[in-house]
Chains A and B, each alone.
Chain A
Amino acid sequence: MLRNPVLKTNVRRWGVANRLGLIVCAVLIAAATWARGEERGVHYQHRADMTPGAIGSWQLLRGGPLPGYPQPIEIRAPENSRISMAVAGGFADPQPTPFKVGLFIAPVYRLRVTGIPYHEGEEVYPTIEVIDRTYPPAGQAWRFPIPIELTLEDLELALDGRFVTRVIYIEDPDFALPGPDDPVHQRWIDAGPGNDPLKLADEIGRPVAIVRMGGRVPIDSAGLSDEQFLFGSPPFVCAPRSVPYEGAIEYVPSVEVESPVPELLSPTATNRP
């Protein structure tokens, strides 16, 4: 066994320094990486309080399969309430909810909500702006609409003169809950004071629609066209009465599932010939 007394002495001394230095460096790198990971290198151009219709117009400039695509949405409202779409300077017949309709990207659609529980005779006029689309399987777009729920709390806030902005987003698969969602009610997150709900939705997923509502109501005053209030009554696509789809297996999740990881759901119906 060969021994070098000089190397032995120095290796011992510098070995301790090496280890300490490497530990400090590792901690520094880990902290710096973590701190940098907190930042998102994104320069946001849009805010949720921008002019209605502006964000959608910017999206159309982006190109791609956005223009001319009627994005199916499903509007849900409290029980017994009715939804009317703005059509040709007025409002169409009230429809029960859930109400499916295909909206184009960029136009602002004005709705009328009537029959609000505990507020009979009062009406709220929210707007919907679709800013992005979804990509469902071919021929099954109406099976997977964007759900937009007008909660009773939001409607009451609007009746109280508050301005409510609701950003609907598609959940990021990396953050999605590993379980079936509530098929009746839409989950929502309060953006909190000072936070931009559009930016928050972008951090969680992909924003696809913005719903705004307040206490403004249409007033027939001569010279002031209702078209301004109705944003020009943009066209929309009515949902087909029957939504046929072929070659798909319908999964009906059970509402009694309590585990976050549901059991394997067996197909209960199939239209496969």
Chain B
Amino acid sequence: MSHTMLPHDRGRDPARRIAIGALALCLLASLVATGCKAPGTHNLPPATQLMHPGPGVDGPGPGVMMIDPGVPMMPPQSSQIAFVGPEGMIVAWDVSMPGAFDSEPLVCPGRYNFPQGAIYRLKLTSIPGRPGVELYPTLEVGPTMPRTDAYLAHNAIPVQVTEEDLDQVMTGNFVTKVIYLPDSEYQELAIAGVETLVSTRLDPGVDPIIEADRRGSIMAIFRLGNKDLQIPGAEGDGGMAMGGFGGGAMPAGFCGPGGGGGPGGGLPASLPGEPIAGVTSPQWGMPISGTPIGLPGPPHIPLGVPAGLQKHVITNHTHYDIPNPTRRIDMHVKQKPGFSYPRPANTVHIEEATVAPPAFFRRPTSDHMQLATPCGPECQ
């Protein structure tokens, strides 16, 4: 007997049903195993993305829980500068008044702890191979940042004046050396070292400070020129230094008109201080300008002409699914093993039986006899 399958019977073919079912099951299992971000699943952005929720916005956004990290143990507020060379060169700076350079001479290689966030005017003398040459560079010591805190607590910032730098200065060039700690992506984190960018080694037009800031965290900037600050008729601002990392840093006691600190001494009177989120700067992680989705608008830098950009529209296409708080929770608790006690008694039968022993309330035999007392003469 022959039997042919009609087209409308194919859907009811059991073998085809089994095959389709197996493929669908495999596809579902694959999606579950791979954690595919299909609608209905819940995921969290990577930690790095959480720390940068949007362009121009740093720090976690309002939806990220912030935990107080506690008070770290007194990070160093001074950076140790190691003047590596050239060997024998003498470094001095202001102590009592601007332009005095009356600190205790430091012979290279030598070290000194400079308070952070300030610019110091130095005086370099006794340069090997260049008798009579005196240079007055500035040293800008940056404040501690989270990325440089551990390094500065354990290492000194090396500052070295090379022969090439001296040649550049003597020919009238200006040398800027930026000492920075490379980001962990560009360095061996377990064994980290600093790097120095020198302006004379970069291509023309490349700012070493911007370049160093792009590569890592700047710790100090050393600027060297051939200006003589102690010739007659000078403006007498030999020790004066302005600006700085914090903007307007002028460490009194070391250099600047507000000096007066002790030798190597007291903390600068006008240290800029580190910015405190929410106090001296906008709250960390919060946008500065309001936009429909909380992102700052494009930068507006008027350079003498009206701003070309008149309007910006930012649309947030991010899919989000943030459910409302649960209003009711059913909690079912089951403890194993459970509790098992005997059923309590509901019927009590009390029967009291008193068995009366045979009692003989007879007079004791020993007491049957009574001794009669002889009667005396009074009863007779």
Q: How many residues of B contact A (CB 8 A)?
A: 69
Q: Does chain A have a CB within 8 A of B167?
A: no
CB–CB A57/B30 < 8 A: no
Would you give the 0/1 interface string for B276-305, flagging 1 where the beta carbon is closer than 8 Å to chain A? Answer: 000000000000000000000000000000
| A-B Cβ contacts below 8 A, count | 210
Q: How far is the CA of A157 from the CA of B147 in the complex (A)?
A: 20
CB–CB B26/A194 < 8 A: no
Please name the residue on chain B nearest to A47 by beta carbon: B184
CB–CB A216/B156 < 8 A: yes
Residues from chain A with Cβ under 8 Å of B189 in the complex: 48-49, 165, 191, 193-197
Q: Does chain B have a CB within 8 A of A253?
A: no
Distance in Å from the Cβ of A78 to the closest Cβ of chain B? 18
Residues from chain B with Cβ under 8 Å of A170 in the complex: none
**Residues of A2-38 whose CB lies within 8 A of B:** 5-7, 10-11, 13-15, 17-18, 21-22, 24-26, 28-29, 32-33, 35-36
Q: Does chain A have a CB within 8 A of B363?
A: no
CB–CB B155/A18 < 8 A: no
CB–CB B77/A51 < 8 A: no
CB–CB B70/A58 < 8 A: yes
Q: Does chain B have a CB within 8 A of A259?
A: no
Residues from chain A with Cβ under 8 Å of B33 in the complex: 29, 32-33, 36
The stretch of A94-102, A112-120, A227-235, A265-273 in contact with B is: A227-235
Please name the residue on chain A nearest to B155 by beta carbon: A214
CB–CB A21/B185 < 8 A: no
Residues from chain B with Cβ under 8 Å of A135 in the complex: none
Q: How many residues of A contact B (CB 8 A)?
A: 75
Q: How far is the CA of A18 from the CA of B267 in the complex (A)?
A: 80
The stretch of B205-213, B256-264, B332-340, B347-355 in contact with A is: B256-264
Q: How far is the CA of A44 from the CA of B26 in the complex (A)?
A: 34
Please name the residue on chain A nearest to B31 by beta carbon: A32
Please name the residue on chain B nearest to A154 by beta carbon: B191
Q: Does chain A have a CB within 8 A of B315?
A: no
Would you give the 0/1 interface string for B57-97, flagging 1 where the beta carbon is closer than 8 Å to chain A? Answer: 00000000001111111111110101000000000000000
CB–CB A108/B18 < 8 A: no
Partner of A28, one of B13, B15, B16, B26: B26
CB–CB B192/A163 < 8 A: yes
Residues from chain B with Cβ under 8 Å of A13 in the complex: 15
CB–CB A52/B75 < 8 A: yes
**Candidate in B16, B34, B68, B74 with the most chain A CB atoms within 10 angstroms:** B74
Give me 20 other A-B pairs in contact (C-beta within 8 A), A5-B3, A58-B70, A158-B154 excluded: A10-B15, A13-B15, A21-B23, A25-B26, A33-B33, A45-B47, A48-B190, A52-B72, A106-B73, A162-B191, A163-B150, A163-B193, A191-B188, A192-B188, A197-B189, A215-B154, A219-B80, A222-B265, A229-B76, A232-B74
Instruction: Show the binding face of B for A, using Cβ within 8 Å.
Output: 2-5, 13-16, 18-19, 22-23, 26-27, 29-30, 33-35, 44, 46-47, 50, 67-78, 80, 82, 111-113, 115, 146-147, 149-156, 158, 184-193, 261-267
